[in-house]
């Protein structure tokens, strides 16, 4: 079977920079071609309990944006051919100034920004600032979006769109059915490549989804794996790699 393209989500600095880096190495060795690295945020609106708890834990160490960008830069130096996307929320990008933030992110090795709470058509200049710095803004769409608005986004000319495959928060299992596939086709109607995720935790789900998306996205499953093995760096590496191999169809 052909290897499945995987975008794997990681919370920068969780539970420590050292273990987080070990998890990043495991994801790459397990076949992840894209790392979606989240800057911890105090009130994440789209993230389920696993990612929320991870963010809270990292922030309790007084972790700052500059620490997250330094962590990303380290991963980029180790794996220069791996695509890195930065995921966070609007206020972290807006506070230092969108252009300034994008410049810093690009300098750290980021190739795209995923900011779920900045609407695609009212993004505070994010798309423009991304392009000026060699990155892409990757807007997020969910099935709760109206048909008219979904069509407007699909036809807006974004190279990539992130499709959350159900409404609600991340972390619960998502059923891949005809409705899911139809939704992905609607998102792709303008020619954008679609990243599909939200509740993807098994190889079976990944295989069902893979033919319809540019990459399968998995996040909470890796955060939970890191949490369960956080006291043992070797176990984190082994278990995260094992799950990545499963989701890329190589297990």
Enzyme catalytic residues: 36, 47
The 3-state DSSP class for residue 229 equals coil
Instruction: Of 161, 158, 207, 156, give the one whose Cα is nearest residue 185.
Output: 161
Residue pointed to by tokens 């082994």: 238
Residue 83 pairs with which residues in a beta bridge?
A: 34
Residue pointed to by tokens 């995987």: 6
Residue 10 pairs with which residues in a beta bridge?
A: 37
Task: Report the C-alpha gap between 139 and 143 in whole angstroms.
Answer: 14
The 3-state DSSP class for residue 133 equals coil
Residues near 5 by beta carbon (within 8 Å), at least 6 away in sequence? 33, 34, 210, 214, 215, 216, 248
């Amino acid at each position: 079977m052909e290897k499945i393209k995987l975008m794997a989500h990681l919370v920068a600095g969780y539970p420590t920079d050292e273990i987080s880096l070990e998890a990043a190495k495991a994801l790459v060795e397990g076949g992840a071609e894209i790392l979606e690295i989240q800057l911890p945020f105090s009130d994440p609106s789209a993230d389920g309990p696993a990612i929320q708890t991870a963010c809270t834990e990292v922030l309790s160490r007084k972790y700052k944006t500059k620490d997250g960008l330094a962590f990303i830069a380290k991963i980029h130096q180790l794996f220069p051919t791996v695509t890195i996307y930065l995921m966070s929320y609007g206020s972290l990008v807006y506070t230092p100034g969108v252009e300034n933030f994008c410049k810093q992110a690009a300098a750290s090795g980021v190739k795209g920004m995923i900011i779920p709470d900045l609407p695609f058509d009212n993004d505070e200049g994010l798309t423009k600032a991304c392009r000026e710095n060699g990155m892409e803004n990757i807007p997020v769409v969910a099935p709760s979006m109206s048909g008219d608005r979904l069509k407007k986004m699909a036809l807006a000319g974004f190279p990539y769109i992130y499709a959350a495959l159900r409404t609600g928060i991340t972390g619960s299992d998502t059923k891949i059915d005809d409705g899911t596939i139809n939704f992905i086709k609607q998102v792709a109607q303008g020619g954008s490549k679609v990243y599909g995720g939200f509740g993807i935790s098994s190889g079976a789900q990944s295989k069902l989804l893979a033919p319809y998306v540019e990459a399968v996205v998995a996040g909470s499953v890796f955060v939970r794996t890191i949490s369960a093995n956080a006291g043992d760096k070797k176990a984190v590496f082994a278990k995260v790699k094992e799950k990545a191999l499963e989701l890329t169809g190589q297990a």
